[in-house]
Structure 1
């Protein structure tokens, strides 16, 4: 078992869950998401939670919210449990197992998702240290958008009327815009530019 830091917060890691690297963590820490949240926001979903790092950071950033942290992998959830307990957040973070939004308990004011988005060509070219991680957490199909197609279809039913979703897509903006040419989204500024993370409202998804 090892340790990794994200936004100054330590997390327990091992081979069962992907090493925490997420630009969404930056957006939580610098309050970039806050202007989009309804003042009464109380429920957050961290979808594809992996080791639970975004769920923990969200609970720390917004003390009034309760967070559901959902993953398909029971191995990943076992690591997430260690991190939720480590940061004494068991009363505010609920761990759930399911495929995509299956297993969630909507509605949510905010959905955070750092999903499998690496396309199959990129997947084959990943460096060795990435290939040592669970492929389930990385591979997103031929254009990287398999999971995201289903998510965008199902998300409106899982969001409150004022709800928003923040979605990390890595270097796949070109594939995203090709797959969803008519969808209006807000590209968020991160330390790696404005091609990594998008925000979309429920209204935009309808």
Structure 2
């Protein structure tokens, strides 16, 4: 591609181009932004090292040929490769937290993050109380970091089967200076934690059922499939997590599990367990809670 074109001079010009290209390509937006305009604004401001929440003062700023080339390369990759913006910029935002990401981990997005910001109220009476928290399938470590902030006296054991994911989590834990509060553990679920018990077990595991996996937009094909695929009904790992959780919860402990669009499969998987569904911005059937007493 040629470098700068006489037709493009300003951020406004590049923004118009990006929105048009994104809409024409019918891109899918599910990794932080919800529409072509917001995605274009983010990519342009990020590429120019400008504040991500300040567009208006810069709209008519004239760009150098090099800056125009850089932005056009980003636009081209977003369209031609269907590469999520978070991977193009190696960063993702969740509830105001910035995390490093690359294709070794899924892009942070979780309804549990909303609940952490509320310190799991009213199910956790006192944020000072939880001392031991287990996060299964930690990925980038985003929820573990948020929980370390929300529960100041807690130590978090953050577990993942992927050593590559744990390498990314290490970057984020170091960035937030949480190494003394978060233990990153390579483990197949509970396997490496022995008999340790926790006040909270929190997880956003792979839960996409096999039929839905086949229908995922191309953007999701760039993510590690082991972090998405949950088997025929999406409940393969969820069953194991619930089945063994009782052995690792303190007397008044709580298990909190995100299952996305799989509420019907979750209800079918645990017909004898009264799941407590927690309201989130995604609805009343995306995250469930189970008390330790129910699992014994």
Fold equivalence (TM over 0.5): yes
The answer to whether the 8 A contact 1:37-1:109 is kept is: no
The answer to whether the 8 A contact 1:28-1:57 is kept is: yes
Residues 108-136 of structure 1: CA deviation (Å, up to 9, x unaligned): 10011000100000001011111110011
Q: Match for 1:134 among 201, 213, 224?
A: 224
Deviation at 1:30, TM superposition (A): 2.2
Give the Cα separation in 1 of the matches to 2:164 and 2:218: 21
Query: Is there any run of 5+ residues in structure 1 with no aligned partner, and where?
Result: none
Give the Cα separation in 2 of the matches to 1:156 and 1:97: 21
Give the Cα separation in 2 of the matches to 1:114 and 1:54: 9
Question: Structure 1-normalised TM-score?
Answer: 0.96
The answer to whether the 8 A contact 2:144-2:156 is kept is: yes
Residues 72-108 of structure 1: CA deviation (Å, up to 9, x unaligned): 0000000000000000101100000111111125201
Number of aligned pairs? 205
Q: Match for 1:48 among 129, 137, 159?
A: 137
Give the Cα separation in 2 of the matches to 1:34 and 1:97: 30
Q: Match for 2:95 among 7, 11, 21?
A: 7
Query: Is there any run of 5+ residues in structure 2 with no aligned partner, and where?
Result: 1-88
**Matched residue SS, 2:145:** helix
Give the Cα separation in 2 of the matches to 1:63 and 1:100: 25
The answer to whether the 8 A contact 1:77-1:95 is kept is: yes
Give the Cα separation in 2 of the matches to 1:100 and 1:122: 24
CA RMSD of aligned residues (A): 1.2
The answer to whether the 8 A contact 1:42-1:65 is kept is: yes
Q: Match for 1:109 among 199, 213, 216?
A: 199
Question: Structure 2-normalised TM-score?
Answer: 0.68
Greater strand fraction, Structure 1 or Structure 2: 1
Segments ≥4 residues shifted beyond 4 Å: none
Asked if 1:34 corresponds to 2:124, the answer is: no
Structure with higher RCO (Cα < 8 A, 6+ apart): 1
Q: Over alpha carbons, which structure has the higher Rg?
A: 2
The 5-angstrom pairing of residues 10-159 of structure 1 reads 10-31=98-119, 33-37=120-124, 39=126, 40-105=129-194, 106-159=196-249
Worse overlay, 33-42 or 74-83:
33-42
The answer to whether the 8 A contact 2:130-2:151 is kept is: no
